[in-house]
Chain A
């Protein structure tokens, strides 16, 4: 039975990863989860310099999901390389670094610093965070802006580049095609869906940022639909995410066309969701006599 998948020449022992921002740099969950079992650890977004993020409250629960407006608080690339990447060298898993920025130059600076890091398998470019006002999301909501930043990053990146797409667009296929045309090696989707919650007793927004990104099981059907649409629009591989809580959920994404999947908000609910998802996929394959996970990718037409 084969659970290995390959994206842009990088082989993953299984298709289950962690969604950026929900798993720290792996360090925070390493007391709970054997990181060696994961297909990849996708780290929290990192910028060229430390970012303080947004005021609190930054998180709020919603029905079957949660809103967050962390605002990409991060220690900056230098601390990240020294501390977090060094830590991840102790594990036999692939590392994908999520990169954020406010300008093309910011992104390039991080991408170049990561170029020398041999335990970084791929870069995931975050052009879709809905909680940072400057730049970032603008790159992810206009096809020409997405093409521009993708091609600039591709010129400098030593590792294969994944563009992480926003669901907050009219037509996801347009964005997927733009990333592909500009040379992206893969795309990941979906980032969170912009939402809002109001505390009726305090007559205030639940989040200090007013809006936040919705994640969790509540968004899964939207995510599966968008992965399906994107998979039918481009040839580059897709990493699917959005509310995955189980192997059954992960398999929906894979059958819709994702080569790999990421577990996000559900890490907060059950720290073992990733490992249980991997085990559940293997059990499904065994039960249904599936020899190779790759035969399931995009099998639903």
Chain B
């Protein structure tokens, strides 16, 4: 089947925290989207060539809309932040492999999100709850200070919060929160900044837990052709037979044991 770049339409957009935007887009891409996948979003600025890879935060019940929650960091995201309801938006996707939801079956599940890595946890949490197979589901969310998406996640799982400045929940990191609250689990799904993912990988290994982590890297094509977004892997990768896996197509979610971060 020939895949296509599509034009979606912004349904609504709100700034939900400082520089954090929450955009619902009407698009047929919602139909096949799985938690942990991402879409490439293209700017209208001809001088800003490359697509911006943004993770899928949520899919509506009717599977007619995608929700993207992103932070403004530069030319592209600043442009997207100015879009209003009705604005056309160019998308490619859904790309990458999502989180292995089936690994939650019968397990005590930890969802760990840090900062702008929190958004993909929402659809994941929803689907784990819907599958109804997890023994219990906890979300641990780390922020600098201002909270976002925590009340959304509370609908599906028990939520614990950590903030760097201590303004809400545990003062410190997600791991500080896990320790303070005496939380434990069998399997981790995580997305967040690299220092957090490293700590999660170490924590999982020390506690004999499985961990699936979602990585990011600067991308150009998003479809596995340019070899821009690789990560170091323990084993030889299937594409280039070296130790560099393509995050866009082989990831972005990996078993933490398999990647060297």
Whether, in the assembled complex, B223 has its beta carbon less than 8 Å from a beta carbon of chain A, the answer is yes
CB-based contact A267/B221 at 8 Å: yes
* B15-36 to A contact mask, C-beta < 8 Å, 1/0: 0000000000000000000000
Query: Closest residue to B73 on the A side, CB-wise?
Result: A201
Contact A79:B241 (CB < 8 A) given known A56-B218, A59-B218, A269-B50? yes
CB-based contact B49/A53 at 8 Å: no
Whether, in the assembled complex, A24 has its beta carbon less than 8 Å from a beta carbon of chain B, the answer is yes
CB-based contact B50/A28 at 8 Å: no
CB-based contact A57/B217 at 8 Å: yes
Q: In the complex, which residues 239-256 of chain B have their Cβ closer than 8 Å to any Cβ of chain A? A: 239-244, 249
CB distance from B212 to the nearest CB of A (A): 21
CB-based contact A73/B240 at 8 Å: yes
Indicate which residue in A23, A59, A65 contacts B228 across the interface (CB closer than 8 Å): A59
**Across-interface contacts of A22 in B (CB, < 8 A):** 221, 225-226
Interface SS of chain B: helix, strand, loop or mixed?
loop
**Across-interface contacts of A60 in B (CB, < 8 A):** 218
Whether, in the assembled complex, A86 has its beta carbon less than 8 Å from a beta carbon of chain B, the answer is no
Q: In the complex, which residues 210-231 of chain B have their Cβ closer than 8 Å to any Cβ of chain A? A: 217-231
CB-based contact B4/A268 at 8 Å: no
Which of A29-37, A88-96, A168-176, A288-296 interfaces with chain B? A29-37
Whether, in the assembled complex, B82 has its beta carbon less than 8 Å from a beta carbon of chain A, the answer is no
CB-based contact A73/B244 at 8 Å: yes
Interface SS of chain A: helix, strand, loop or mixed?
loop
CB-based contact A56/B242 at 8 Å: no
Whether, in the assembled complex, B1 has its beta carbon less than 8 Å from a beta carbon of chain A, the answer is yes
**Across-interface contacts of B230 in A (CB, < 8 A):** 53, 56, 58, 73
Whether, in the assembled complex, A70 has its beta carbon less than 8 Å from a beta carbon of chain B, the answer is yes
Whether, in the assembled complex, A236 has its beta carbon less than 8 Å from a beta carbon of chain B, the answer is no
**Across-interface contacts of A73 in B (CB, < 8 A):** 227, 230, 240, 242, 244
CB distance from B239 to the nearest CB of A (A): 7
CB-based contact A268/B221 at 8 Å: yes
Interface centre among B47, B92, B220 (most CB of A within 10 A): B220
* A50-75 to B contact mask, C-beta < 8 Å, 1/0: 11110011111101111010100111
CB-based contact B218/A57 at 8 Å: yes
Indicate which residue in B3, B220, B244 contacts A59 across the interface (CB closer than 8 Å): B220
Docked pose: A52 CA to B236 CA in angstroms: 10
CB-based contact B225/A58 at 8 Å: no
**Across-interface contacts of B218 in A (CB, < 8 A):** 56-60
Indicate which residue in A29, A61, A272 contacts B225 across the interface (CB closer than 8 Å): A29
Whether, in the assembled complex, B193 has its beta carbon less than 8 Å from a beta carbon of chain A, the answer is no
**Across-interface contacts of A52 in B (CB, < 8 A):** 240, 242-244
**Across-interface contacts of A265 in B (CB, < 8 A):** 49, 220
Contact A31:B3 (CB < 8 A) given known A51-B242, A56-B217? yes
Indicate which residue in B1, B49, B239 contacts A268 across the interface (CB closer than 8 Å): B49
Whether, in the assembled complex, B199 has its beta carbon less than 8 Å from a beta carbon of chain A, the answer is no
Docked pose: A23 CA to B242 CA in angstroms: 20
Whether, in the assembled complex, B51 has its beta carbon less than 8 Å from a beta carbon of chain A, the answer is yes
**Across-interface contacts of A76 in B (CB, < 8 A):** 241
CB-based contact A269/B224 at 8 Å: no
CB-based contact B241/A53 at 8 Å: no
CB distance from A68 to the nearest CB of B (A): 7
Contact A58:B228 (CB < 8 A) given known A75-B241, A268-B220? yes
**Across-interface contacts of B220 in A (CB, < 8 A):** 59, 66, 68, 265, 268
Interface centre among B5, B92, B229, B241 (most CB of A within 10 A): B241
**Across-interface contacts of B226 in A (CB, < 8 A):** 21-22, 24, 59, 68, 70, 268
**Across-interface contacts of B229 in A (CB, < 8 A):** 56, 58-59
Sampled A-B contacts (6; CB under 8 Å): A50-B240, A52-B243, A59-B226, A65-B49, A266-B49, A268-B49
17 further contact pairs, Cβ within 8 A, besides A23-B225, A24-B226, A29-B223: A22-B221, A22-B225, A24-B225, A32-B5, A50-B242, A52-B240, A53-B240, A61-B48, A65-B49, A68-B220, A73-B227, A73-B240, A265-B49, A268-B221, A268-B222, A269-B42, A269-B50
Q: Which 8 residue pairs are nearest across A and B when measured between Cβ atoms?
A: A24-B225, A28-B225, A59-B228, A52-B242, A268-B221, A31-B3, A75-B241, A28-B224
Q: Which residues of A contact B (CB under 8 A)?
A: 21-24, 28-29, 31-32, 34, 44, 50-53, 56-61, 63-66, 68, 70, 73-76, 79, 216-217, 265-272
